[in-house]
Structure formats: structure tokens, C-alpha cells
């Protein structure tokens, strides 16, 4: 494992960081465990003051935080600023609502008294991805710190400057040493951390294979885990959809963050009546994207996060075509410096094609035409993933019915799948388990402890 900032716009190595040795890792674990014993006893008000200050710092210095996102993984600078703002909103959300979410729940037993208290687990370990370098951290750290846990995070190897900046943020906001710890560690050390008895819970956002390793290790140690994995979200267009507005959302759903979103629209499932017109408009809109420097606010299309990500995507397209898929547009690397890929649409993808099952993490859209609503739902459900999805129709009642029929963790009507602090986020099937954000996200790593008061004279 290496921690290295490489600008995917030009391939320039910006900075390299050394991994922690085992002695340094042990010191970090010890510090976190010691910190928990104090942090768990702090009031919600004191924790909220730290969180609120962290959010305020991010808002006051948006460009300072946004810049390394763009330089390390190529996100358009406007989108990077948006991510900083969203991360601040998440931190603020839990600062304001954590105490209410975790308030004691008074039960009504047949006799005596009973209450369920929410108490923190302890030291938590998170393994986080590169595609939203702060947002992923905020949605893990904010609820758990507010719940009284402390967190340790192994971030992706290609965004070390973002990882370090987020750790410094919490220290500047007044969090004690050990409340939030960034770990520049190897894959072997990840297993050491999961095995360590001081770690009480594990959260991962990433791919299926990584999740199998981390979840398996956590399970072997009888530790609670949450897994937020990939998706192959269906974007269903029914025959009564507003075509122009739907196409605009389709473009955003596919191209936001250069398509590198777990909940990006990946399978465009369009009823036959609109299929040709949708595809024509969609293709024209994608063709208008111009690659350029993501630091330039005029640029509309940035590079993929790394050269390895580009190579993998190109290989997926090549294998899809070899098995009968048709390239409607794109499919190749853009002939210029940097890790750029052409916006791509594939169609004629049959169930035996590997593309039918895989997640395409980038500017590649899979296009399917179906005869009717029932076929659209059946195709949407014929997936190993179940993270998000959307349906477009002028009939809201119909949209809700379709949403209820799709097997997925999140379903949006007339809007692509997206995220806000107050909406639960998570999936089913190979998209993982557990929920983040909203009131549900803070409940994952707290002990629901029953305190029962009964009469001493109660019968045995």
C-alpha cells in the first residue's frame, strides 16, 4: 500500500507519504482507547461545540479544503467545493440532532419501569474510498463522534492530503487527541487493527471484494460492521416522462463526479415509446462535454481518479464489446495527457455479457430499451446490486408504485439518487448492509441497553 498524491489531470506526482510502522500504529491505538474513556463522558453540548466548529471551519475555508480534492482525484473544482459544503452540513446536522436521536426510550412494561439507553461502543475503525474524500469521512465520523465513540480511519491511498486535512480539522476544532485518527497503514495492518480488541466496530465503503475481506475479518472477531458498497443503479424512464427534463437529470446522474459515484445512474432503462428520442438527446448532451483542467471553473469534464481506474474501465468496455455490446458513442481514451475517457454509451447488452452484472465506475452508460413498466421493473431487479435507483414519470402515484417494486436500498421519483444529511443512505444485496446519515446512521454503533426497574417482591 502506498500513499501518494498524483494529479490525474497531468500525471504529476505531488507528494508521497510514509506508512506508519507497527510501533506508531500501536501508539495510535492506545491513544484512541484512552481518549474514548474521556470522550464518552463528555456532554452532548461539548461534543456539539467541537462538531459545529469543524463545520464552520470547512465553510470558512472552502477553497483550502476543495483544492486537494481536485488535485488528488480530479473532481471538478465546483463539485469539490460542493462536497466541502455537504460535509459541513452533515457535521452540523449531527451536532444539532444527536442528543435527540439518542435520547432514552421509555418503555411501558406490564409492571415497573424500563428504559433503553444508547451508549457508545468505543473505538471504531473505518475504511473509506477516494471518490468523495471528505463526504465519506464526514458521514462516518460526525454521527459516531457525537454518539461518544472515537474513530480511526484508513483512507484511500490516492487521497492522503485530504485524509490528513480532515484529521487536522477535528484537532483545530477542539477535539482531543485520539478522537479522530487518520491511519496511513498497509493492508496487513488493516487486519491487525480489525483484530485488535480495542476496536469495537468496523465500517467500510468500497468494493465487493474489499468488503468480503473486511467484513469477514470483523465477523471472525465478532465485531459489528457496516458495508456501503457499489451499485448499478437503474434510471427508469416511463413513457409518460417529461423527456427534456428527464434527459437533463440523466446527464447529471451519469456525469456528476465523472460518473464515479456509488449512486450514479448506470443502467438507463427506457420504455420503447421514448427510447429512440431519449437516446438521441442523451447522446447529444454527452457529446457536448469538453475535457480540461478540473481546477478551471470553465471545465465541464475532468479526468478519472487514477490511471488504474481508467485502464480498468477501458478493459470493461472492451470485454463488453467482445461479448456483443454495441458502442453508441465513446469507448476509448481521450488522446491527451491525463486519465481521461470519452463519455460512453453501450447498448445491446445481453444477460450473458459481463457488463450486464458489473458496476461501471466512470462515464459509461448502459442503455436498455423495454416494452413496458413491468419489463422495466424486472430488468431493474435483475442485478447483483441494490443501492439506489430512480424512476421518471408524470404520474407520481405510478412512480411511487414502481419505486416500491424495485429491490434496492433507495429509490427516487423524478430525481436521480442523491444524498442529504437527513436521508438514510445504504443498500441491499451486493451493495452492502447498514445505513448511514439521518437518524438511522447514528444508531449503528451504539449499544441499546435496557435498564429495567422491577419490584423486589416480584414473583420468580
Q: Which of 262, 359, 373, 436 is catalytic?
A: 262
C-alpha 207/C-alpha 195 separation (Å) is 21
Angle of CA points 365, 270, 342, to nearest 5°: 15
Tell me which residue has cell 468496523. Answer: 202
Please, what's the b/e burial string for 282-294 (b: 16 or more CB within 10 A of its CB; e: otherwise)? Answer: bbebbeebebbbb
Cell of 68: 486537494
Q: Which of 79, 228, 359, 373 is catalytic?
A: 228
Q: Quick check: 4 and 13 in contact, CB under 8 A?
A: yes
Note if 35 is an active site residue.
no
C-alpha 366/C-alpha 75 separation (Å) is 23
Name residue 227's beta-bridge partners: 204, 433
Q: Who's near 118: CB < 8 A, 6+ residues apart?
A: 102, 103, 104, 147, 443, 446, 447, 448, 449
| Of the candidates 199, 188, 158, the residue with the CA atom closest to the CA atom of residue 307 | 158
**Residues across the chain:** 460
Neighbours of 428 (CB within 10 A): 14
Name residue 370's beta-bridge partners: 271
Note if 262 is an active site residue.
yes
Burial (CB count within 10 angstroms: exposed 0-12, middle 13-18, buried 19+), residue 208? middle
Half-sphere exposure of 72 (CA within 13 A, CB side): 28
| Of the candidates 240, 255, 284, the residue with the CA atom closest to the CA atom of residue 373 | 240
Cell of 4: 501518494
Q: Which residues are catalytic?
A: 228, 262
Amino acid at each position: 500500500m502506498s500513499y501518494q498524491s498524483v494529479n490525474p489531470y497531468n500525471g504529476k506526482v505531488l507528494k508521497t507519504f510514509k506508512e506508519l510502522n507497527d510501533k506508531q500504529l500501536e501508539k495510535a491505538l492506545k491513544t484512541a482507547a484512552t481518549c474514548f474513556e474521556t470522550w464518552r463522558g463528555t456532554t452532548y453540548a461539548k461534543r456539539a461545540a467541537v462538531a459545529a466548529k469543524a463545520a464552520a471551519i470547512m465553510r470558512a475555508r472552502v477553497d483550502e479544503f476543495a483544492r486537494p480534492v481536485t488535485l488528488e482525484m480530479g473532481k471538478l473544482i465546483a463539485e469539490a467545493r460542493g462536497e466541502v459544503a455537504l460535509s459541513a452540513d452533515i457535521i452540523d446536522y449531527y451536532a444539532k440532532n444527536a442528543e435527540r436521536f439518542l435520547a432514552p426510550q421509555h418503555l411501558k412494561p406490564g409492571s415497573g419501569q424500563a428504559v433503553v439507553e444508547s451508549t457508545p461502543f468505543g473505538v471504531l475503525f473505518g475504511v473509506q474510498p477516494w471518490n468523495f474524500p471528505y463526504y465519506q469521512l464526514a458521514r462516518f465520523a460526525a454521527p459516531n463522534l457525537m454518539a461518544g465513540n472515537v474513530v480511526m480511519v484508513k483512507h484511500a491511498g490516492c487521497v492522503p492530503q485530504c485524509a490528513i486535512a480532515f484529521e487536522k480539522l477535528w484537532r483545530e476544532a477542539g477535539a482531543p487527541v485520539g478522537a479522530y485518527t487518520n491511519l496511513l497503514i498497509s493492508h496487513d495492518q488493516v487486519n491487525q487493527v480489525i483484530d485488535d480488541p480495542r476496536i469495537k466496530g468496523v465500517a467500510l465503503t468500497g468494493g465487493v471484494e474489499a468488503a468480503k475481506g473486511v467484513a469477514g475479518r470483523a465477523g471472525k472477531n465478532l465485531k459489528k460492521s457496516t458495508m456501503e458498497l457499489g451499485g448499478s443503479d437503474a434510471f427508469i424512464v416511463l413513457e409518460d416522462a417529461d423527456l427534456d427534463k428527464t434527459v437533463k437529470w440523466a446527464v447529471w446522474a451519469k456525469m456528476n463526479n465523472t460518473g464515479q459515484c456509488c449512486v450514479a445512474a448506470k443502467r438507463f432503462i427506457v420504455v420503447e415509446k421514448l427510447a429512440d428520442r431519449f437516446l438521441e438527446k442523451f447522446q447529444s448532451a454527452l457529446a457536448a462535454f469538453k475535457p480540461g483542467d478540473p481546477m478551471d471553473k470553465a471545465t465541464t469534464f475532468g479526468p478519472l481518479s487514477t490511471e488504474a481506474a481508467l485502464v480498468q474501465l477501458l478493459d470493461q468496455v472492451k470485454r463488453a464489446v467482445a461479448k456483443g455490446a454495441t458502442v453508441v458513442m465513446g469507448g476509448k481514451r481521450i488522446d491527451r495527457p491525463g486519465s481521461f475517457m470519452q463519455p460512453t454509451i453501450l447498448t445491446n447488452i445481453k444477460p450473458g455479457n459481463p457488463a450486464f452484472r458489473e458496476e461501471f465506475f466512470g462515464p459509461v452508460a448502459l442503455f436498455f430499451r423495454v416494452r413496458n413498466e413491468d419489463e422495466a421493473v424486472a430488468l431493474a431487479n435483475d442485478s447483483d446490486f441494490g443501492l439506489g435507483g430512480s424512476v421518471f414519470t408524470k404520474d407520481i402515484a405510478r412512480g411511487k408504485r414502481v419505486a416500491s417494486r424495485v429491490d434496492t436500498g433507495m429509490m427516487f421519483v423524478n430525481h436521480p439518487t442523491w444524498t442529504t444529511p437527513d436521508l438514510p443512505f445504504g443498500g441491499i444485496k451486493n451493495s452492502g448492509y447498514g445505513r448511514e446519515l439521518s437518524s438511522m446512521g447514528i444508531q449503528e454503533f451504539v449499544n441499546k441497553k435496557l435498564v429495567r426497574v422491577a419490584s423486589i417482591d416480584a414473583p420468580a
